[in-house]
Structure 1
Amino acid sequence: MTSHDGDTDSRDRGEKRDGYAAARIPVYLRVDRDADELVVYTDPRNGAYKARTTHPYGAAVTLPDPVAITLDTEELKNYAG
C-alpha cells in the first residue's frame, strides 16, 4: 500500500518495485491510495517488470501463476484516502 509520506511513497512506486523485479519476484502488487486502484506488475526481466495492469477498487483481479488466485478488491475501498 502506498504511504501518505512522500519519501516512502516514492520508494513504494520505484525502489521497491524495481528491487522486486531485480530479484525476479513474479508478481508485485501495489495498492495505490492516491489513484484508488490496485496495480499488478508481472513478467520481471532485466531488473524491470515488463507488464503492468491497473484495476479499480471493487474489481475482481485474477493474479497470474504462481499466485493464481482471484483477489476481490472491494475491501480496499475501506482504506482509500
Structure 2
Amino acid sequence: MIERATPIEHAAPPTFETLLRTVEEMDTPDGFKAELIRGKIIVSPWSKLRYSRPMRKLREQLRASAPAGHFADTSPFLFRFSAAERGYGPDLYVADESAFDEEGRHADGAALSLVGEFTSLSTQDADWNEKLDVYGRLVPVYLVIDMSASEITCFWDPSPHGYRSRTTVSFGEDLHLPKPFDCVLDTTGF
C-alpha cells in the first residue's frame, strides 16, 4: 500500500455507531490503522520507524509527569468523540486508566489528558486541521510533532471553539507543558 489515507465509501450514509462498529471489526493490514475522519473510515499507515525514538522519549517524559490515575502509551486504541462523530487512534496519548475498564475496542475521548500526533505526508492535513478542531474542544493538551519541519507545537486551554493557546519550538529546545502536566519537555534528539 502507498502512504496516503484512503477513504472507504458506503452506499448509504451510515450512523456514527455503525461506523465505529465497522472500524472495530476491520482486519486492517499489518502496519495500518483505521480512524473515523470527516465521517469516513480512513486507513493510514502507522508511523515510520524513524519516529520511534522521539515517540519513546516523549512517552517516557510524559509518564513521569502524567496526572494521578493517568498513563502514557502508544498502543493502538481508538478514542471516540461522539459529539463530533469522530474516532481517532492517536500516535501517543495520556489517558485516565479507568477508561480502559470498559468492554469494547474504543475508549471515550473525554478520558484523554494529552494527545500527541506525529505528522507525515499522509496525516498532516488531519493532524493540523480535523483533529485540532475536535481535540480543541475537549482534550487539555494537544501536541503536534511536525517531523518534516523539526518542530513541536503545544495547544492547550480547550473551549467550545477550539484551543485558546499555543506554543511552537524547534527540536532541541525545551517546551513547557501546561497543567495538568506543568513540566518541561526536553526535545533534544527528536
* Per-residue deviation, residues 9-46 of structure 1 (Å, max 9, x unmatched): 10011111111112x21110010123211101011111
Counterpart for residue 11 of structure 1: 126
Instruction: Give the greater-gyration-radius structure (CA).
Output: 2
1:2 aligns with 2:110: no
**Normalising by the residue count of structure 2, what TM-score does the alignment of the two structures yield?**
0.37
Runs of 4+ residues deviating >6 angstroms? none
| Structure 2: gaps spanning 5 or more residues | 1-117
**Normalising by the residue count of structure 1, what TM-score does the alignment of the two structures yield?**
0.81
State the identity as a percent: 38
SS in 1 for 2:157: strand
Q: Aligned partners of 1:13, 1:51: CA distance in 2, in Å?
A: 15
**Bigger relative contact order, structure 1 or 2, given CA contacts below 8 A and separation 6+?**
1
Counterpart for residue 42 of structure 1: 156
Instruction: Please give the root-mean-square deviation of Cα atoms over the aligned residues, in Å.
Output: 1.2
